[in-house]
Amino acid sequence: MPCLRHDNVKVWDTLAIAEYLTEIRPTAGILPQDLAARAHCRAVSGEMHSGFPNLRSALPMNLKAHLPGFSVWSGAQADVDRVVAIWRECLDTYGGPDLFGELSLADALYAPVCTRFLTYDVPLPPDCAAYCDTIMSWPAMTEWIAAAKLEPDELEELDVEF
């Protein structure tokens, strides 16, 4: 779970962290400058933050795996279809290469979905596949994935005896 500690402030929810950072660094580009785009970014970010339970359950995050030919069940496919619809609307509206033209909160929140789509070999339309390629080429993503691949496959603190 993320937690931001800054001065005497502690913030532990991703959307609350983003709003806090936007307030203390309004020119950082976390949200688009345009009012309508900013509202749209907040909406799709909120949808990612609180939604897509079937996608999260059926396609758990695993940066070490690649499962070609994985069959996505229908409940999860509906979530995949919704993500694709969001991405296409944003890419068409704001011109890419990021969801709102330039890097924003929405891209950060959808980055883990890109990893899931790659892990489970989820077929994507060309524009959405290109978006995933853009996200996966971020230096921060390559660093994060490299670090994850160095982690042990089993974590002792996660072993539970029943």
Q: What percent of the chain has pLDDT over 90?
A: 91
What per-residue confidence (pLDDT) applies to 1? 67
The answer on 120 and 72 residing in a single domain is yes
Considering the domain boundaries, does residue 157 fall inside one? no
Give yes or no: residues 25 and 37 share one domain: no
The answer to whether residue 72 is domain-embedded is yes
Whether residues 77 and 112 fall in one domain: yes
Enclosing domain of residue 21: 1-30
> Is the domain of 60 the same as that of 17?
no
- 123 in any annotated domain: yes
Rounded CA-CA distance 46/40 in Å is 10
Q: Are residues 26 and 48 in the same domain?
A: no
My answer on whether 84 and 74 are in the same domain is: yes
- The mean pLDDT value for 113-128 works out to 97
Phi-psi region of 103 (alpha: psi -120 to 50; beta: other; left: phi over 0): beta
Domain co-membership, 10 together with 36: no
Give the pLDDT of residue 20. 96
Note if the pTM is more than 0.95: no
Number of domains the chain is built from:
2
What's at 33, amino acid-wise?
Q
Q: How much is the average pLDDT of 131-145?
A: 96
Rounded to whole angstroms, the Cα distance separating 61 from 67 reads: 12
Of 76, 72, 71, 86, nearest to 53 by C-alpha is 76
Using left for φ > 0, alpha for ψ between -120 and 50, and beta otherwise, residue 123 falls in beta
Confidence of residue 154 (pLDDT cuts 50, 70, 90): confident
Q: Which residues pair with 9 in a beta bridge?
A: 6
pLDDT tops 90 at residue 160: no
Residue 117 has pLDDT above 80, yes or no: yes
Alpha helices in the chain (DSSP H): 14-24, 35-50, 53-58, 74-94, 105-119, 126-136, 139-150
